[in-house]
Amino acid sequence: MDTRRNPLITVSELKALLDHSHPLSLLDVRWRFDGSEGLSTFRQGHVPGAVFVDLDRELCGQPSSDGRRPIPDGDRFAGDMRRHGVRAENPVIVYDGADSTSASRAWWLLLYFGHSDVRVLDGGLAAWYEAGHSVEIGDGHKSALGDFQSQPGGMTIVDADTAYAIAESGTLVDARSRSRYEGEAKASDLTGGHIPGAVCIPAEENVRADGTFLPVDQLQRKFRDLGFCRAGIEVGAYCGSGILATHTILTLELAGVKAALYPGSWSHWISDPGRPVARGIRPA
């Protein structure tokens, strides 16, 4: 039986842990596709005790035939996490600016590589500020070396062929915007469209305007109405390069649905000109 805890933590719950000096690792994973967030914003203010994690350097491998932002090497990832103080027996809390887009990537990777207790701060730093809590300025405190080791396999991944099979016989979620799903090509993609049979459920539609996730009962109704809860159905998720899809997987987990990640996502799919591409609208 899967005993994994709620993947989210509230600001009040985190504050209580910090006030009582509960041993934990607190990772700031602020990042945007346009490069507008990162270490500079961390230095301007972060949750006390947090350390900065660079998504592009520490949560992604080098662009390759596996995709634009592939899963990093396990030993390298574990080494980075040890440097940030991550210990196997202590909980890890991850957060970003608000909507959990990049925090979800850290959450997924830590679980995939074997950590058993990882949660995302719902609403991120924006929610921390909204609650009136103070922040630290500067580079943060250097963490004592952790002991985290890489044990891959804690989350399910699928390759291109399996993702295509899920799109045909189960439900494959495309977490990108509707315009990209329908065929708009970005400079980073060159080819627009989607995997035939995939349904478009933009990740941004799973959170409120303030970045907090929709209530669990609302998410459950949403995915039940879309047919996700049918017995025996396989569910997978992909996006442009493997970031947004982890946000969708976290959302589905909140609703009680387990989903596999296609890590290479669209950037890997279109690397083979022999793979089919669909365009236009497919009703969810």
Q: Could you read off the pLDDT of 81-104 as tens digits, one per residue?
A: 999 999 999 999 999 999 999 999
Give the Cα separation of 4 and 11 in Å (integer): 20
According to DSSP, residue 205 is labeled G
pLDDT of residue 143: 81
Q: What does the pLDDT read at residue 34?
A: 73
149-155 mean pLDDT = 98
With 60 as the cut, is the pLDDT of residue 213 above it?
A: yes
Domains of the chain: 8-130 (3.40.250.10), 160-269 (3.40.250.10)
Of residues 227 and 248, the one with the higher pLDDT is 248
- Reported as type and span, the H/E element at residue 27 is strand 25-28
Cα–Cα distance measured from residue 47 to residue 32, given in angstroms and rounded to the nearest whole number: 19
Contact 169, 160 (CB under 8 A): no
The per-residue pLDDT for range 256-279, each reduced to its tens digit, is 999 999 999 999 999 999 999 999
Nearest CA among 251, 242, 173 for reference residue 211: 251
**Cα 69 to Cα 59: distance, rounded to the nearest angstrom:** 9
Weakest mean pLDDT among 199-213, 215-229, 238-252, 260-274? 215-229
What is the average pLDDT across 231-237? 86
**What is the pTM for the complete model shown?**
0.94
Which candidate in 60, 200, 229, 239 is catalytic?
A: 239
Average pLDDT estimate for 182-190: 82
pLDDT at 1 over 50: no
State yes or no: is 239 an active-site residue. yes
Q: How far apart are CA 206 and CA 200, in angstroms?
A: 12
Give the C-alpha separation, 260 to 83, whole Å: 29
Helix axis angle for 101-112 and 244-254, nearest 10°, is: 80
Q: Supply the pLDDT for residue 23.
A: 95
Q: Tell me which amino acid residue 244 is.
A: L
- Give the separation between CA 100 and CA 121, rounded to whole angstroms: 8
Structure tokens at 250: 């976290």
pLDDT in tens, 111-128: 999 999 999 999 999 999
Distance (Å, rounded) from C-alpha 238 to C-alpha 15?
33
Strands in 190-280 per DSSP E: 199-200, 235-238, 260-261
Structure tokens at 138: 């500067």
49-72 pLDDT per residue, tens: 999 999 999 999 999 989 999 999
Predicted confidence (pLDDT) at residue 208 exceeds the cutoff of 60? yes
* Dist. CA 139–CA 79, nearest whole Å: 20
Residue-wise pLDDT for 3-13, tens only, equals: 457 999 999 99
For the four alpha carbons of 75, 36, 119 and 144, in that order, the dihedral sign comes to positive
